[in-house]
Structure formats: structure tokens, C-alpha cells
């Protein structure tokens, strides 16, 4: 897989922090939004020739002409930001979240001794907090 000099330069500057990455095509349209605990490792993984990607991912990588990223403070923040960016921009390659009629929420179970974080599509009155 041939990687443009522009993309190679971007890949070299990615931080090792959590955040969201945004892929754009030649027209400047957002075609994919993803999240990562380590932006550098995750984004670079798309461009490894031996990574055994499926056809959809190979098409996505061929369409990428620009990469942006947003650094956040935690994995939870990245998940919330990713969902909001997908809702707002409806990228071509984010089919799983784009096609759903009900978007997922982040649920924090505050009523447990050690609060846990889960993903749900339904909000119920149970003392938990929902984000998304």
C-alpha cells in the first residue's frame, strides 16, 4: 500500500494520548471517525500493509487524504466525543452507528460500590448517569 508524503508526515506527528481521529477524503468530507486510547498506535494500524484488513477498511484507507485528531483526557471522553461526532457528521464508513435508529449512550452506574461504565441504547430511571 502506497502512503502519500502528506499522510506519512501526519502519521509521524500523532500523539500517544487518548482521543478521536477524523479521516477526510479528497473533497474534504469526513468519511470516518474513530476513537483510541493511543492515537498514534491506532491510526498507524490502518496503514500497515500486513494488518489483514477487510475490503471495507482497505477502501477506507485508499480514500483517506487527510487526518485530524482531537486529544481528550480519558477513554470515556473519547467514546462520548466519537459518538457525538458520528451523530453530527454521519461519515460514510461509520455504518454501525450511522444506520442505527437509536444511538448508544454511555451509562455510569453510580449506585454500585465500584461504579462501572457501560454502553446502552435505552435510558431508564435507575439512578445512573447517561451521556451521549
Q: Residues near 84 by Cβ (< 8 Å), separated by ≥ 6? A: 132
Domain span at residue 86 reads: 5-97
Q: What is the pLDDT of residue 116?
A: 86
- pTM (predicted TM-score): 0.74
Tell me: do 91 and 114 sit in the same domain.
no
Q: Supply the pLDDT for residue 74.
A: 93
pLDDT at 12 over 90: yes
Does 33 share its domain with 51?
A: yes
Q: How many domains does the chain have?
A: 2
My answer on whether 86 and 107 are in the same domain is: no
**Angle, CA 77 vertex, CA 75 and CA 81 arms, to 5°:** 120
65-76 pLDDT, tens digit each = 999 999 999 998
CATH code (residue 39)? 3.40.1440.10
Overall average pLDDT of the 88-111 stretch: 77
pLDDT one-digit tens code per residue, 34-58: 999 999 999 999 988 666 788 888 8
Amino acid at each position: 500500500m502506497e502512503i502519500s508524503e502528506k499522510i506519512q508526515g501526519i502519521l509521524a506527528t500523532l500523539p500517544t494520548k487518548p482521543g478521536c481521529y477524523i479521516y477526510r477524503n479528497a473533497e474534504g468530507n469526513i468519511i470516518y471517525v474513530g476513537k483510541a486510547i493511543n492515537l498514534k498506535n491506532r491510526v498507524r494500524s490502518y496503514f500497515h500493509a500486513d494488518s489483514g484488513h477487510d475490503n471495507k477498511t482497505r477502501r477506507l484507507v485508499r480514500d483517506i487524504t487527510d487526518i485530524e485528531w482531537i486529544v481528550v483526557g480519558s477513554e470515556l471522553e473519547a467514546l462520548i466525543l466519537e459518538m457525538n461526532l458520528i451523530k453530527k457528521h454521519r461519515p460514510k464508513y461509520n455504518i454501525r452507528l450511522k444506520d442505527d435508529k437509536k444511538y448508544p449512550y454511555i451509562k455510569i452506574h453510580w449506585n454500585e460500590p465500584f461504579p462501572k461504565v457501560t454502553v446502552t441504547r435505552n435510558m431508564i430511571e435507575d439512578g445512573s448517569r447517561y451521556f451521549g
